[in-house]
Amino acid sequence: MKTSIVSRTLITIALMVVCLIWTVPTVGILVTSFRTADAASSTGWWKSFATPEAFTLDNYVQVLGGQRFTIADAEGNTITTRGATMTSAFLSSITVTLPSVVIPIFIAAAAAYGFAWLKFPGRKIMFAIIIALLVVPLQISLIPILRDYQKVGLNGTWLGIWLAHTGFGLPLATYMLFNYISTVPRSILESAFIDGASHFTCFSRLILPLSVPALASFAIFQFIWVWNDLLIALVFLSGAGQTMEVVTVRLMNMAGTWGSAWHLLTAGAFVSMILPLTVFLALQRYFVRGLLAGSVKG
């Protein structure tokens, strides 16, 4: 009994230490995002609490509204310029992310239902191919897809990046949803078939409502993946102009242009974190249920 209590205590202390180490850099970035330019460049963030007057909301106003501000370049010269607005990039990321989450969910749900409950030739082979696609790095397919996009005029368009994220996310979505849908009791479907329901009716009125935990779990994965993506956005939205830049590309450009303005870069980073955190917290109760879907049968 005493040994188990000591073990739990040590595990709790170890987890608290890990959480503290993991959280401290994030707290430092958050504090820096509220500091003035002079304070951020002259002292460490841990000294900011001694001078509360150094805190300001102007960083977020400048990042979101693109107001003019003064920074120093690499040679120490003072430059007055206009901050890159995160508002348009935020809207562009929403435009990219929402369809890239919704489209693969419905396609993968239909595919998972077919693999779980329909009998057709080559079903096991096709499912094995989908599973094999999980281990294929997406980087090796970027150049061939980009060449095809250029031929058909999809490069630099919303449709092009939606299709890219849909294709890259379908294997994982199909696998996760198959594990969940295959655990639905067969008696439920048989009762529906006896009442005259078609496969489409069973899928839309039974399977989808019952699969909400798995759907929400994949939605979290896909949303965070697409929102934080930089490589695919750079490849398939290249040449589209600043109006279609997503938050990750805008932050990269801000870091390259205004690398010394840490107070603005940290503010832009936290602006980009607002929506993913909101989505995760809103769907958190489904997250573990969806991850454990299909792990135990019977």
Q: Which domains does the chain have, with CATH numbers?
A: 86-291 (1.10.3720.10)
- Across the range 274-286, mean pLDDT stands at 80
Widest distance between CA atoms in the chain:
79
Task: Encode pLDDT of 197-256 as tens digits.
Answer: 888 888 888 888 888 888 888 888 899 899 999 889 888 887 766 778 888 888 888 776
CA distance 216 to 102: 11
Question: Percentage of the chain with pLDDT > 70?
Answer: 85
Which secondary structure element, helix H or strand E, spans residue 111, and what is its range? helix 86-117
Q: In this structure, which amino acid lies at residue 82?
A: R
pLDDT at residue 133, rounded to an integer:
84
Q: In this structure, which amino acid lies at residue 146?
A: L
CA distance 265 to 254: 7
CA distance 160 to 186: 39
- Across the range 275-297, mean pLDDT stands at 68
- Across the range 13-23, mean pLDDT stands at 89
Strands (E), 6-91: 68-72, 78-82
Average pLDDT, the chain: 81
pLDDT at residue 98, rounded to an integer:
93
- Report which of 66, 31, 68 is spatially closest to residue 52, judged by C-alpha positions: 31
CA distance 138 to 271: 28
- Across the range 140-146, mean pLDDT stands at 87
CA distance 31 to 34: 6
CA distance 269 to 216: 25
Burial of 175 (0-12, 13-18, 19+ CB in 10 A): buried
pLDDT at residue 95, rounded to an integer:
92
pLDDT-derived band at 107, boundaries 50, 70, 90 = very high
pLDDT at residue 273, rounded to an integer:
85
pLDDT-derived band at 258, boundaries 50, 70, 90 = low
Find the length of the chain.
Answer: 298
- 247 Cβ contact partners less than 8 Å away, ≥ 6 residues apart: 86, 89, 90, 92, 93, 227, 268, 271, 272
pLDDT at residue 83, rounded to an integer:
47
CA distance 69 to 215: 44
Q: pTM of the prediction?
A: 0.79
- Both structure tokens of 219: 């939605």
- Across the range 161-189, mean pLDDT stands at 87
Most confident of 22-26, 72-76, 252-256: 22-26
CA distance 249 to 238: 10
- Across the range 32-48, mean pLDDT stands at 79
- 123 Cβ contact partners less than 8 Å away, ≥ 6 residues apart: 114, 115
The answer to whether residue 298 scores a pLDDT higher than 50 is: no
Task: Encode pLDDT of 118-128 as tens digits.
Answer: 888 888 899 88
pLDDT at residue 297, rounded to an integer:
47
- Both structure tokens of 13: 């202390």
Query: Which residue, chain included where needed, has tokens 């409502």?
Result: 209
pLDDT at residue 76, rounded to an integer:
58
CA distances from 228 to 207, 246, 258, 281, 296 (A): 30, 9, 21, 17, 32
